[in-house]
Amino acid sequence: MEPGTARIAVDLLGGDDAPAVVVDGALRACRADPDLALLLVGPVEVADEIIRALPSRDRTRVAVRPVRDAVGMGDAPARAGRVETTVRAAVAAVAEGAADALISAGATGATVIAAALGFGRWPGVRRPALVASLPAVANPVVLLDVGASLDPCPATLTQHAAFGAAYAAVAHGVDAPRIGLLSIGAEPGKGDRLRRAADPLLAGANLPCGARYVGLIEGYDVALGARADVVVTDGFTGNVLLKGIEGAYAMAGAPSASGGVPRAAALLGVAGITVVCHGAATGEDLASGIALAAHLHRSSATAAISALLSAPDEVSA
């Protein structure tokens, strides 16, 4: 654990099984990390449930921002920008300095829009990316995007490659990360229109942290991590693949339901630390998402990544 208090704004109403799983996750996170403080964003009675369950000496670690309205999983994402929802209030709390980072297991699209509107984007950023770190044989594999940017253009994939390179270096300490473009064969020219257009752009991109582009990789390479440290793809394919690997681990009888596949992902490209949890997240998943948000704050990862990307000669196309 890195030293220092981390104040995490928690969307109490995000997730298929909210608020119960969020209550459980918040309590687990408080037990695991004595330097954690939580700003509970949502109905007062849900926040009270968490506060009552804490030992009395710990109750000062928790503050409440009352909000009644949530974004439903079926709501249009833009609703998060218009009405005062829990996720929008959590973003506002971070933007005002009342918290250091936020976490939501609500609808991903709504969280991305709320964060982009509330924090603004990093300079020159087209579209944000959600980045997940999968356990692999050696270093974790950084997979992005896992659901923030659907139907991206080739230049967005190049920019996300730079995000991923910086994230692998800063969050996982990978030196000179290998960047692969997810496709359906390793030979140049394999893939759909988006991949065929992105491959030459990536080959010519100036990537930070000594990263090098290794070309096309396949789905098989993602779980094992043998060929690339960072795997770049569109948000649709990345989301399907991440959940597909999770299902395979569940089918194979892995120790936990997720088989170690992370159910929390960091949003890169917006000027505030945002962690998104899987809608089907459990209390354990929420707690690990809160720990990820605290780690990103304590290591100043988001600011470090943003700085790497805006350094001269390090900006990708």
Spatial distance between the Cα atoms of 208 and 316, rounded to a whole number of angstroms? 8
- Shortest Å distance, C-beta 197 to a copy of itself: 12
Asked if 147 interacts with a copy of itself (CB under 8 A), we say: yes
In the DSSP assignment, the letter for residue 134 is: E
Q: Give the strand order in the sheet containing 141-144.
A: 62-66, 36-42, 6-11, 101-104, 273-277, 264-268, 129-134, 141-144, 230-232, 178-182, 212-217
Contact 130/277 with Cβ under 8 angstroms? no
Using the rule CB under 8 A, give the single segment among 121-129, 143-151, 265-273, 296-304 that binds a copy of itself. 143-151
- Shortest Å distance, C-beta 110 to a copy of itself: 12
Number of other residues whose CB lies within 10 A of the CB of residue 197: 14
Asked if 138 interacts with a copy of itself (CB under 8 A), we say: no
Instruction: Tell which one of 250, 304, 307, 315 touches a copy of itself (CB under 8 A).
Output: 250
In the DSSP assignment, the letter for residue 282 is: -
Residue 96, classified by CB atoms within 10 Å of its CB into exposed (0-12), middle (13-18) or buried (19+), is exposed
Count of positions on this chain that bind a copy of itself (CB under 8 A) = 52
Asked if 66 interacts with a copy of itself (CB under 8 A), we say: no
Using the rule CB under 8 A, give the single segment among 54-62, 222-230, 264-272, 285-293 that binds a copy of itself. 222-230
Asked if 215 interacts with a copy of itself (CB under 8 A), we say: no
Within residues 260-279, the interface with a copy of itself by CB under 8 A covers 279
Instruction: List residues near a copy of itself by CB under 8 A.
Output: 73-74, 76, 107-108, 136-137, 147, 150-151, 182-185, 187-189, 191-193, 195, 218-224, 233-237, 239-254, 259, 279-280
